[in-house]
């Protein structure tokens, strides 16, 4: 029975150990700054679905960050509000798209690529309609994509709001852990990162050639995986940032349901295959990239670990088996918890207080109904916006 318990816990032990390694690897801050030559032309594409409430603020802030040679294109996708008119009033180019059978960000970006083909820029960049960046961040992102020839990703964060509900603050912290600390760790371990959909850029020819993932619910993640498989691993630009605002508890849960459902579906398809390919090719980086994909979102990972560990402890107690597999997993979970605390000390204190961080178990319970819903009905198939 000891062997059975060890086999039951082995996948969780491997992923927990990797999570610890990735977080610890992502704690040091990068010291090298991206050189900006301000030579490449670029178009910043903003896919927008009923974003009338925020589009003017986004465009006015973005226009102040544009240098010569960088332009903005808004794709008003299946809008029933005044998004397109408001964007035109801001003096930017606007495309309107109406296709209720093909709804979603991937399709909007494909229309933008088709429109730009006749006078293609050097770089194709993407910014969500509720996001903001600054001039230096945008220049560094564009120049990195132009000079490296690789897809490039800014550090994508939610603005901290200590006045928000504790569960929203915990979600914001989890977003930072994933998009800042773990992305830095993944780049150091595997030489690549994930595209997060906003604050990303790549040579135009590269985006135009990647048409297989345009209908994916998490087209950003799938696009990054497709490009990496084709020999173009995305790079993290650690001195380029993009920010978006938080939401209400219900709005946060809605967006997490869409993104995490799509992430889990994509990760289950690609993660094990990539890890196995890394083993067969004797490629540690590919193996580690596969493990990263197989680590579930933080709340689900914690819930699964607790459930499996409780089951393993019960089997061990009833069968009189050796306790070392359970104790080993407990030790790994303690290390992972310590790494999360270290990430809070290093990067997270502006996002949440220690008191809110200690409510992490409540955050897990808050999200359990969402995971039960995903298991019952599957991933949302439409473009869902976070409540503003």
End-to-end CA distance of the chain: 52
Cα Dmax for the chain? 73
Tell which residue, 23, 65, 21, 18, has the closest CA to residue 42: 65
* 224-250: average pLDDT: 86
Domain map (residue ranges) of the chain: 1-42+131-388
Across 259-288, b (16+ Cβ under 10 Å) vs e yields: bbbbbbbbbeebbeebbeebeeeeeeebbb
d(CA 275, CA 284): 9
User: For the segment 249-285, what is each residue's pLDDT rounded down to a tens digit?
Assistant: 666 666 666 667 677 877 888 899 999 999 999 999 9
* 160-164: average pLDDT: 83
pLDDT of residue 361: 86
H helix or E strand, kind and range, residue 182: none
d(CA 227, CA 179): 19
User: For the segment 70-109, what is each residue's pLDDT rounded down to a tens digit?
Assistant: 999 999 999 999 999 999 999 999 999 998 777 778 888 8
pLDDT of residue 304: 92
Whether 106 contacts 214, CB under 8 Å: yes
pLDDT of residue 385: 53
d(CA 331, CA 347): 24
pTM for the model:
0.88
DSSP 159: P
Whose tokens are 């409510």? That residue is: 359
Whether 46 contacts 94, CB under 8 Å: no
Sign of the torsion angle spanned by Cα atoms 230, 216, 62, 159: negative
Whose tokens are 């990797």? That residue is: 18
pLDDT interval class at 365 (50, 70, 90):
confident
- Average pLDDT in the chain: 88
Per DSSP (E only), the strands in the chain are 42-48, 70-77, 93-97, 123-126, 131-133, 152-158, 200-203, 235-244
């Amino acid at each position: 029975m000891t062997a059975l318990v060890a086999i039951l816990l082995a996948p969780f032990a491997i992923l927990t150990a990797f999570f610890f390694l990735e977080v610890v690897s992502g704690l040091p801050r990068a010291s090298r700054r991206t050189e900006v030559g301000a030579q490449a032309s670029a178009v910043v594409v903003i896919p927008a679905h009923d974003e009338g409430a925020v589009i003017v603020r986004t465009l006015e802030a973005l226009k102040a960050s544009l240098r010569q040679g960088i332009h903005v294109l808004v794709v008003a996708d299946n809008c029933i509000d005044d998004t397109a008119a408001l964007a035109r009033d801001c003096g930017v180019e606007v495309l309107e798209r109406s296709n209720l059978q093909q709804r979603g960000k991937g399709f909007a970006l494909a229309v933008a690529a088709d429109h730009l083909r006749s006078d293609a820029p050097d770089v194709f960049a993407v910014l969500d309609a509720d996001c903001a960046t600054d001039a230096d961040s945008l220049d560094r992102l564009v120049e990195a994509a132009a000079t490296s020839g690789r897809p490039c990703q800014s550090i994508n964060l939610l603005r901290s709001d200590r006045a928000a509900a504790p569960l929203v603050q915990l979600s914001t912290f989890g977003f930072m852990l994933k998009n800042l600390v773990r992305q830095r760790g993944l780049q150091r371990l595997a030489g690549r990162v994930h595209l997060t959909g906003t604050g990303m850029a790549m040579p135009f020819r590269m985006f135009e050639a990647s048409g297989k993932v345009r209908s994916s619910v998490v087209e950003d993640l799938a696009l990054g995986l497709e490009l990496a498989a084709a020999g173009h691993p995305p790079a993290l630009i650690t001195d380029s940032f993009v920010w978006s605002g938080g939401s209400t508890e219900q709005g946060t849960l809605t967006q997490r349901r869409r993104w995490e459902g799509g992430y889990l579906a994509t990760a289950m398809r690609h993660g094990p295959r990539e890890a196995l390919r890394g083993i067969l090719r004797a490629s540690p980086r590919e193996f580690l990239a596969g493990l990263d994909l197989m680590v579930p979102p933080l709340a689900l990972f914690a819930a699964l670990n607790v459930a499996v560990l409780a089951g393993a402890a019960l089997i061990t107690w009833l069968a009189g088996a050796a306790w070392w597999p359970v104790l080993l997993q407990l030790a790994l979970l303690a290390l992972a918890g310590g790494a999360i605390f270290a990430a809070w000390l290093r990067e997270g204190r502006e996002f949440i207080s220690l008191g809110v961080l200690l409510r992490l178990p409540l955050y897990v319970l808050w999200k359990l109904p969402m995971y039960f819903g995903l298991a019952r009905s599957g991933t949302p198939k439409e473009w869902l916006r976070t409540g503003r």
